[in-house]
Amino acid sequence: MKIMICDDAAKDADQAKKVILSMGGIREDEICICTPQALSLALEVRDLDCDIAILDIEYANQTFSGIDLGKELNQKLPMCQIIYLTWVLDFAPEVYETKHCYFVLKENMHRMLPRAIEKALQLYHDQEEHEVFELHEGGRTLYIRQNDIQYIEREDRRLIVHTKDRDYKCYESLTNLLSKLGRAFLRCHGGYVVNYNYIEVVMRDMVRLVEGQELPIGRTYRSSFHEQYMQAMEQHI
């Protein structure tokens, strides 16, 4: 889980971070604080990975607002859940021009922000579970629910996407395909990506799925895979 707090008031951003950490279940390294300028630049160059964005609305000495950044996030990171944070209600009507999940007044931050985070987490997980994955097979465009994908296997120059019902074949790099999938998908090997929700047993060098398939854990990916798997267990993806 990656949570970003964007506020030009460092004191308010730090307070929001403290409130989130006091909830438990979210680690400090999962929260980052950035300036409006930094977020605007990251959106411009499309260098951003964020699951929940907490945006202050009004920025001093800026030609854009948090609502403007929210509109860009809607377009470039559609799965990102947006929480608006402000001292005043003047902007309330404008926030409805964007897709967001909560509006928090800073004076009530201790009470309202935990509720907002809980709602954002639920919406994110629900959305991810039902997210549809676009796949091109033999000149056809197919749409597959991510939650139906058990694992993905590289075979020569093509990928085989194994689902509960059938297998699909496509020509795409495994790295590129993984970037389109949700956080339940873990890379365990240079040639394999596995859906956490179908894992039954994890050993040092092998993953066994609930239907009995066994996938290797590559030496290069061993450390990162085990770490991501433990995080997934803690967060109950």
Q: Is the pLDDT of residue 233 over 70?
A: yes
Listed in order, strand segments (DSSP E) in 60-157 are: 81-86, 102-105, 132-137, 140-145, 149-155
Tell me the CATH number at 46: 3.40.50.2300
235 contact partners, CB below 8 Å, separation of at least 6: 1, 25
Task: Report the pLDDT value the prediction gives residue 48, as an integer from 0 to 100.
Answer: 84
Residue 46 has pLDDT above 60, yes or no: yes
CA 67 vs CA 3, 10, 15, 42, 97: distances in Å = 17, 19, 21, 16, 8
Please identify, among 107, 129, 151, the residue that sits at the C-terminal boundary of a domain: 129
Per-residue pLDDT at 212? 92
Q: What is the average pLDDT across 34-50?
A: 89
Residues 52 and 98 in one domain: yes
The pLDDT assigned to 191 comes to: 96
CATH number of the domain to which 223 belongs: 2.40.50.1020
The DSSP element (H or E) to which 76 belongs, if any, is helix 66-76
Residues 164 and 125 in one domain: no
Task: Give residue-wise pLDDT tens across range 154-198.
Answer: 998 899 999 988 999 999 899 988 888 888 899 999 999 999 989
Question: Are both 37 and 119 inside the same structural domain?
Answer: yes
Is residue 86 a contact partner of residue 106, using CB atoms and an 8 Å limit? Answer: yes
Question: pTM above the 0.95 mark?
Answer: no
**Which residue range is the domain that position 153 belongs to?**
133-235
pLDDT, tens digit (0-9, with 9 covering 90-100), for 59-118: 888 889 999 999 999 888 877 899 999 887 776 667 777 888 888 999 999 999 999 999
For residues 146 and 83, membership in a common domain is answered with: no
Total tally of structural domains belonging to the chain = 2
The sign of the CA dihedral 154, 150, 227, 1 is: positive
Which pLDDT score is estimated for 130? 61
Shared domain check, 86 and 181: no
